[in-house]
Amino acid sequence: MMHSLVIGSSDDMRVELFQHALAQNGHPPAAIADYRDIIRGDVHLAAMIQPGTLVRIESPGKSEEANQALLALGADEPAEGGDYLRVDTALPQPKGLIAASRQWYLGLRAFMRRVAEQLNESPPHRLMNHPDDILLMFDKRVCHAFLEVQGISVPPALPCVHSFDELEAAMQARGVRRVFVKLAHGSSASGVVAYQTNGTEHRATAAVEMAAEGGKVQLFNTRRVQTYTSHAEIARLVDTLCQHRVHVEQWIPKARMGDKIFDLRVVVIGGEPAHTLARLSHNPMTNLHLLNERRDRQTVIEHMGKDNFARAMALCAQTMAHFPNSLYAGIDLLVAPGFRKHYVIEMNAFGDLLHDTLFDGLDTYALEIQRATCG
């Protein structure tokens, strides 16, 4: 009988799934420390942890309150590294508006700092994922640089740009024509733009809708992937994203499965690549929540070939080895045509939500619990 604590939102699907996995393993449900309560100072983690408690830091998820609280926390943080687009957290945000991710990240950072402090003051416990690792994975610029320095295969990044003009200049200076522009602190295709030019024409594909509101450009997440071909529009789109900080990488073409392109989501647990899915798409955005199709691990192995798949998994294991204080992460892997070359395109600290996917008969949460408790 193991005591557990989840730092997360109580009505969140992820927490529910974790509770279910605990129950299936004969453990009592985890206590929950809500993001908002921690931020408000209504709880101290030390009071919720016993010796040997399994501590899980979960995503704030879709909880508006949790995310608003993080944004409010971020508003108080110094704007190091340059100013960014701030939002007034007192005002309600229109539905689907792309979050002010820099402000959100600064809030997350303050939050994780507090969590780390409180964990330090707590009885000895088993921490699944370390706050420092979570923060690293939520900063694409820093994470990319970190992985590159460790010799992990990643697409080459462009230097930091703060505007579309700077992006164009950086691309021209390097003879690069195709790039992925991502919010440095975004996730799940939010604010990702696949941009390409041949010198005279421009094309940007994004799951983003642009609207002008009171003279300002507003960006909304959309399930309908949009294509922009006007230079001015693309400049507006990228300039607006830059206000939240962007990370730019070269666009390496992906391999195909049938008439679609695909990439892989690999959940590494306890050092070993486990749950694996291929995400298929007709357009450059492969994320599953965009209603894209997925294929299971066996299909991927047959498609790529055993050796290529094994080497892709080895890359994932090698990548995760650089995060020894974290039990799991979801790695997005780019497979180039030919299936022989692989690149890590994203690390997801909360990337273990894979519906209806089993590995050795267990879902991600059950396998994490197993690895956390038995090793």
Partner 1 sequence: MYVQHEATFAGYPIVDWERDNAIFNKGTNIALAVRTDWDENENGSGWIGKFNDLLNSPSLEQIPALVIGMWHYEESVKYIVDALVANKARFSNLKALFIGDITSEENEISWIKQDNLSPLWSAFPNLEHLTIRGGDGLELGDLKLPKLKSLRIEAGGLTGEVVRTVGEAALPELESLVLWLGTSGYGATVTIADLQSFYECAGKPKLKYLGLCDSEMADQVAEFIATAPVLQRLDTLDLSLGILTDEGALALLTSPYIRGLKKLDLHFHFCSDGMIKKLEELSQEGIEVDVSDKQRDRDWRFVAVGE
Q: Which residues bind partner 1 (CB under 8 A)?
A: 156, 175, 177, 196, 198, 201, 203, 227, 250, 252-254, 256, 258-261, 282, 284, 336-338, 341
Tokens 């229109």 belong to residue = 94
Q: Kindly state the tokens that stand for 334.
A: 């780019």
Q: Kindly state the tokens that stand for 298.
A: 């066996």
Q: Closest approach of Cβ 18 to partner 1, in Å?
A: 37
- Torsion angle of C-alpha atoms 15, 21, 26, 29, degrees rounded to 10: 0
Q: Closest approach of Cβ 257 to partner 1, in Å?
A: 9
* Residue 241 amino acid letter: L
Q: Which of residues 62 and 282 has its CB atom nearest to partner 1 in the complex? A: 282
Q: Closest approach of Cβ 234 to partner 1, in Å?
A: 14
Q: Closest approach of Cβ 219 to partner 1, in Å?
A: 22
Q: Closest approach of Cβ 285 to partner 1, in Å?
A: 12
b/e for 63-73, b at 16 or more Cβ within 10 A? beebbbbbbbb
Q: Which of residues 39 and 261 has its CB atom nearest to partner 1 in the complex? A: 261
Q: Which of residues 257 and 366 has its CB atom nearest to partner 1 in the complex? A: 257
Backbone angles phi, psi at 139, to 5 degrees: -120, 100
For residue 101, give the 3-state DSSP assignment.
Answer: helix
Q: Closest approach of Cβ 198 to partner 1, in Å?
A: 5
* Residue 64 amino acid letter: E
Q: Which of residues 137 and 261 has its CB atom nearest to partner 1 in the complex? A: 261
Q: Which of residues 24 and 227 has its CB atom nearest to partner 1 in the complex? A: 227
Q: Which of residues 113 and 177 has its CB atom nearest to partner 1 in the complex? A: 177
Radius of gyration of the chain measured on its C-alpha atoms: 21
Distance (Å, whole) CA 59 – CA 199: 41
Q: Closest approach of Cβ 220 to partner 1, in Å?
A: 19
Q: Which of residues 324 and 338 has its CB atom nearest to partner 1 in the complex? A: 338
For residue 42, give the 3-state DSSP assignment.
Answer: coil
Q: Closest approach of Cβ 291 to partner 1, in Å?
A: 17
Q: Closest approach of Cβ 334 to partner 1, in Å?
A: 10
Q: Closest approach of Cβ 260 to partner 1, in Å?
A: 6
Q: Which of residues 220 and 339 has its CB atom nearest to partner 1 in the complex? A: 339
Q: Which residues contact 94 (CB under 8 A, 6 or more apart)?
A: 218, 220
First-last CA distance in the chain: 16
Q: Which residues contact 45 (CB under 8 A, 6 or more apart)?
A: 5, 7, 33, 38, 55, 115, 118, 119, 121, 122
Distance (Å, whole) CA 287 – CA 260: 13
Q: Which of residues 156 and 270 has its CB atom nearest to partner 1 in the complex? A: 156
Q: Kindly state the tokens that stand for 301.
A: 């192995």
Distance (Å, whole) CA 230 – CA 236: 10
Comparing CA positions, the residue from 127, 124, 147, 151 lying closest to residue 137 is: 147
* Residue 5 amino acid letter: L
Distance (Å, whole) CA 67 – CA 59: 10
Q: Which of residues 57 and 257 has its CB atom nearest to partner 1 in the complex? A: 257
